[in-house]
Structure 1
């Protein structure tokens, strides 16, 4: 599937679409924000080239079916409010991992839950997934709340799963099975 082939997913308040080359400045702003990246598995970005490389990789992953990385557009215009993805898609196991970021301006408005609801629905209904996982740091209570409201269950802690800034980081593994999804 190519960028032009992927249909936008939308609600009254937001739209999910593929990433485009002109999203690079907004994507950099999102991934460079230390507060947004506080719980992430890599340090904040520092260069536009990182955003450009991520957009190029998203295009390749979409074409190969390895991942679906989308821009979250909220309100009028076409500026990024955040991004969300189903990545590490294992078609033979009908499984993927969920990732998402939302700019601080949009926190607390229910947009993450709304955007992820669209993406999860696409993953289960269109991609035929049976299991979607998410890794969340133990201190990221807001993200844990979003996942729980979507029906995810915490399955356990993965100790020292990632190294970020020279320190190890634990994450909790959350999962949602197709039969637990209530679109």
Structure 2
């Protein structure tokens, strides 16, 4: 198995999560506000977090995804995660997902991590399409992906059964050409 890639941004270091990180992850993964948009019930124990970490490791080993722990460069403590799941290499597509401790909301951290992860997907995983599935009530996440250049394609009615009920999800996507066009536009701003 090849070495897990590390991504660095201005403020962040995205790295592989290990079992020792569970103690830092449990506080945010046990927060209803953080996990509900993920379609999960709040985690209750460190063992619950270990199961999540095992899932991260399994999708990486199978090639169906990759999930980075989000850390601030100055602390190294995992405060969230961002990465790909449901990757279908044959069709050059994957879904992106993320979550972040409430202590760090509205500081541009997920935006910074998401941009770096999407860039990694296009440059290293040969993705052509990145998808994001978002509950219609999750306005902050909708604003985030739209600001990043994702386009809303439609509403997937009763797309998943989570937390005891069927959930509608918006389908957002960005194709590689949208991303590279956005990079050119950003360079032209300065």
Q: TM-score, normalised by structure 2?
A: 0.90
Deviations 1:100-130 (A, max 9, x none): 0011111111111100011000000110000
**Which structure carries more helix by proportion?**
2
The 10-residue stretch of structure 1 (146-155 or 35-44) with the greater mean CA deviation from structure 2: 35-44
Can you give the 5+ residue segments of structure 1 that lack an aligned partner in the other structure? none
1:116 aligns with 2:107: no
Bigger shift: residues 156-165 or 116-125:
156-165
Structure-2 separation of matches of 1:10 and 1:18: 12
1:65 alignment counterpart: 63
Query: Higher mean Cα deviation, 87-96 or 33-42?
Result: 33-42
Deviation at 1:41, TM superposition (A): 1.2
Taking structure 1 as reference, are residues 35 and 93 closer, same or farther at Cα in structure 2, changes over 3 Å only? same
The answer as to whether partners of 2:39 and 2:163 remain within 8 angstroms in 1 is: no
Match of 2:157 among 149, 156, 159: 159
Aligned CA distance change for structure 1 residues 58 and 38 (closer, same or farther; 3 Å): closer
Distance 1:178 1:97 in 2: 14
CA distance in 2, matches of 1:163, 1:7: 33
Tell me what 2:18 maps to.
20
Structure 1 runs, 4 residues or longer, greater than 4 Å off: none
Instruction: Specify the SS of the correspondent of 1:38.
Output: helix
CA distance in 2, matches of 1:169, 1:24: 28
SS at match of 1:50: helix
1:35-82 CA-partner distances (Å, limit 9, x unpaired): 112322121111211211221222232122111011000241211121
TM-score normalised by L of structure 1: 0.93
Name the Cα RMSD after superposition. 1.3
Matched, 1:92 2:90: yes
Answer 1 or 2: higher relative contact order, Cα 8 Å, separation at least 6. 1
Q: How far, CA to CA, are the matches of 1:164 and 1:60 in structure 2?
A: 21
Across the two proteins, how many residue pairs are aligned to each other? 181
Cα deviation digits, residues 126-153 of structure 1 (max 9, x gap):
1000001011010111101110111100
Which of 31, 35, 38 lines up with 2:36 in the alignment?
38
Q: Structure 2: where are the runs of 5+ without partners?
A: 184-190
Instruction: Report the secondary structure of 2:35's partner residue.
Output: coil
